[in-house]
Structure 1
Amino acid sequence: MPRAIKSVAFCAMLLSATASFAQKGETVKVAWLDPLSGLMAAVGTNQLKTTQFMVEEFNKKNTSGVKFELIAIDNKLSPQETTSALRSAMDQGARYVMQGNGSGPALAIIDALEKHNARNPGKELVYINYAAVDPDLTNSKCSYWHFRLDADTSMKMEALTTFMKDLPEIKKVYLLNQNYAHGQQVSKFAKQNLKDKRPDIEIVGDDLHPLAQVRDFAPYIAKIKASGADSVITGNWGSDLALLIKSANDAGLNNVKFYTYYAYGTGAPTAMGSGADGRVFVVGYGHYNMGGDIQRIMGEYKKKMNDDMVQTSIYHAFAMLDTAFVRARSTDPVKVAATMEGMKFKSFNGEIEMRKADHQLQQGLWITKWQKAGGKFPYDAENTGYTMAPVKYYESYVASTPTTCQMKRP
């Protein structure tokens, strides 16, 4: 009898071990849909190279034993093109889709997957959002199939204004943003948060401009100068931020500080150069000088690609999927989505949590400042000799905002 019990126990252990690695050796097809053409092509190209590099990195060593295969398609920053690209990715066997630029394309993916997954049981897809930050995506328009890895617009503004409220030199703020959901939300939350935290600050301008269409920001810089603003808050990204800061430098707007969301992004460091030393701040979940394994990865990426890795939330994507595959003992999107709800996992900024209520990642945020590279902060951004150095860190609860999501689970 003891021998029989031992035999049963051994078999159970063997079965358990086999089940825990049931997905080992599987190929997981991941679709990447973002712009590779138009004014935002440089941003998309950098993100694609980062995704390709992360696929290589995680294929070398991942706990689940899977092989990631990438399907990359240019969505031209268009919701319509995104829908078409998603269909193509599905036809090629993708079960996970990644996207980050623009809430319009993000909503197109959410809408398409809600319909597709309801109509095609057994062929479901999961959407991993690494950069589209419209708060509505995890509030009124939340979806069970959508998981966001970046902090949303309201979360970042919560941290940014918490930092700004303690700077008495800020008296007049100009708001300049892209005229679409994210930019409109930056304006809205900036006014709301500053009113609550620093009612003495005067909003001296509030402009919205077309997304990825403005080639000369000189007229906006002239308005900022005329307003007497000492600070600008902008959620601009890509060419819209690089050209804005270049215009500010060209106009000699040296007495104004910029509080941004994306000044680490492709093209912005080169535009800032020495002229923006000490005058540009960024709020984000990471920075150039994080240390640890992510610093090694960023260094290897720069050496291989001759480029900076700026979208490190893409690391979150593969770390989260790898962990979920192990815990779900499967790569099936249905089982994986259920596992990722409320899941805590290790990434480059410690243990982070995918909040179950709305699928919004909860993580700490940094405020960083543009300054000369060296000492404790050596990373050289776009070979300018400058870097984004951390000046303040906020735990996840500081920036965490409540959700109105009414999640409809299958």
Structure 2
Amino acid sequence: MRAATASLLITGAAQAEDTVRIALIDPLTGPMAAAGQSAIEHLKFHAEHINETGGINGKKLEIVGLDNKVNPQESLVQLQKAIDDDIRFVTQGMGSSVASALLTAVDKHNTRNKGEEVLYLNMAAVDPAFTNERCSFWHFRFDAHVDMKMNALTDWVENQPDIKKVYLINQDYSFGRAVASSARRMLEEKRPDVEIVGEDFHPLAKVKDFTPYISKIQASGADAVITGNWGQDITLLVKSAADSGLDMPFLTYYGAMAGVVTQVGDAGVDRIYQVNEYYGDFEDPEMAEQQVRMYDETGWDYYWLRLSTMLDMLQKAAEKADSTDPVAIARAMEGLSVETPTGTAVMRAEDHQMQLPLFISVLKDDMKYGAEGTDFNYHRIAKIDREAVSLPTSCKMRRPR
């Protein structure tokens, strides 16, 4: 019995040495589960491609899902589980409050545990502070942050003379307040004639019926809405707007997240806009093929282009470093670039903030590649080049010696 047990332990250790594991710490159950489930399915889908093209410096890539229920304390519990299981790479994106807790915890762990460092790959938590005053050597962000997206969105609004009155509605935590603040600041700079006619902050993932908020928007006289809502909160918000017949553009960060298209359908056509690194009406035949294949295999849309970019960059950094050690990969990733279907993405060494092109798109019908099994998807109306998306940073990073 002891010999058999020892044999199993040796086999497990050997398998671990041949595998690079990434823990996704995000909601996999509860009201925001669709966001986490779509992300983990995309990670697993692209991990197959990584493994078919050499893995991570010759090692197999494995994705491990850890459910945090969008709760910072639960996220810390899951982070410790990952560390105890010798997982050296974690990724997360749903909620900047969670990201803040993880960033602090990863920094502390790495300071106290030399040789056992963990790398935090941020795929969607976009509070600007994380690559400005709170920047960390152990943190890399693969999504454009709040101000980068708002800069692109308000560049577009600047040339829309019909938009004169804007209503802001956002989730009541650091990310939602950052979106509102950024919208106010940038509209004042670019369109001082635009009036902010209302502003609401609502609890994260708590509102079941947005009708009272839609009534306030209707009464305000607004002719456009700006929102950073994500997950259930964007789905229910735009559904309520559609049910109420609210006929105005919703300028969103996450209008194409899982569930929105199915819930809104025709009522969202030419009304729901988004700013993102990806849009569904894709011209590239290889990317179009991946969209179709992923939906057929997983039942989820190919929404998270940045997750493919993240894994491609991790693979390239490991090859450059000739190592899967997190410290070596972090150093190799600084300044690294990868080619994506939308253009070159660069990980800025100064603050570990990905620099990438963004797109403004709008929901359309009769699309060649429909989202969520429908004929609806997002059609590109504007591209903002990487250089125009880029913003300066206040980061003063301390690097390990």
Query: Normalised by the shorter chain, which TM-score bucket?
Result: over 0.9
Query: Is contact 1:71–1:94 with CA below 8 Å preserved after alignment?
Result: no
1:238 maps to which of 227, 231, 237: 231
1:217 maps to which of 210, 218, 221: 210
2:28 maps to which of 31, 36, 60: 36
1:229-253 per-position Cα deviation (integer Å, ceiling 9, x unaligned): 1100000011101111111111111
- The residue type equivalent to 1:249 in the other structure is A
- The residue type equivalent to 1:62 in the other structure is G
2:370 maps to which of 380, 385, 395: 380
Match of 1:146 in 2: 139
- The answer to whether structure 1 residue 266 and structure 2 residue 258 are counterparts is yes
SS of aligned partner of 2:218: helix
Distance 2:366 2:384 in 1: 23
1:118-147 per-position Cα deviation (integer Å, ceiling 9, x unaligned): 111111111111111110111111111000
1:256-279 per-position Cα deviation (integer Å, ceiling 9, x unaligned): 111000011011111221011111
Match of 1:19 in 2: none
- The answer to whether structure 1 residue 289 and structure 2 residue 304 are counterparts is no
1:286 deviates by 1.1
SS of aligned partner of 2:372: helix
Stretch of structure 1 that moved more, 35-44 or 219-228 = 35-44
Q: How many residues are matched?
A: 382
Match of 1:14 in 2: none
- The answer to whether structure 1 residue 59 and structure 2 residue 44 are counterparts is no
- The answer to whether structure 1 residue 361 and structure 2 residue 354 are counterparts is yes
TM-score (norm 2): 0.93
- The answer to whether structure 1 residue 407 and structure 2 residue 400 are counterparts is no
Distance 1:72 1:237 in 2: 20
Query: Is contact 1:39–1:212 with CA below 8 Å preserved after alignment?
Result: yes
- The answer to whether structure 1 residue 249 and structure 2 residue 239 are counterparts is no
- The residue type equivalent to 1:141 in the other structure is R
SS of aligned partner of 1:303: helix
1:346 deviates by 2.0
Query: Is contact 1:319–1:347 with CA below 8 Å preserved after alignment?
Result: no
SS of aligned partner of 2:80: helix
SS of aligned partner of 1:182: helix
- The residue type equivalent to 2:144 in the other structure is A
- The residue type equivalent to 2:390 in the other structure is S
Stretch of structure 1 that moved more, 156-165 or 60-69 = 60-69
1:31-72 per-position Cα deviation (integer Å, ceiling 9, x unaligned): 111001221011111111111212222112237332112221
- Structure with greater Cα Rg: 1
1:292 deviates by 4.5
- The answer to whether structure 1 residue 301 and structure 2 residue 303 are counterparts is no
Query: Is contact 2:139–2:352 with CA below 8 Å preserved after alignment?
Result: yes
Match of 2:150 in 1: 157
Distance 1:344 1:55 in 2: 19
Identity within the alignment, %: 43
- The residue type equivalent to 1:31 in the other structure is A
SS of aligned partner of 1:381: coil
Distance 2:97 2:269 in 1: 34
SS of aligned partner of 1:188: helix
TM-score (norm 1): 0.91
Distance 1:34 1:386 in 2: 27
- The answer to whether structure 1 residue 99 and structure 2 residue 92 are counterparts is yes
Structure 1 unpaired stretches of 5+ = 1-24
Structure 2 unpaired stretches of 5+ = 1-16
Instruction: Evaluate the alpha carbon distance shift between residue 289 and residue 267 of structure 1 in structure 2; reply closer, same or farther with a 3 A threshold.
Output: same
1:324 maps to which of 317, 322, 347: 317
The runs of at least 4 aligned residues of structure 1 exceeding 3 Å deviation read none
Query: Is contact 1:301–1:309 with CA below 8 Å preserved after alignment?
Result: yes
Query: Is contact 2:309–2:338 with CA below 8 Å preserved after alignment?
Result: no
SS of aligned partner of 1:406: coil
Distance 1:292 1:346 in 2: 16
Distance 1:72 1:207 in 2: 33
Match of 1:20 in 2: none
Distance 1:93 1:80 in 2: 20
C-alpha RMSD of the superposition:
1.3
Stretch of structure 1 that moved more, 31-40 or 63-72 = 63-72
SS of aligned partner of 1:259: strand
Distance 1:65 1:393 in 2: 36
SS of aligned partner of 1:346: strand
Query: Is contact 2:210–2:240 with CA below 8 Å preserved after alignment?
Result: yes
Distance 1:344 1:111 in 2: 27
Distance 2:182 2:171 in 1: 14
Match of 1:389 in 2: 379
- The answer to whether structure 1 residue 69 and structure 2 residue 62 are counterparts is yes
Distance 2:314 2:90 in 1: 12
Match of 1:85 in 2: 78
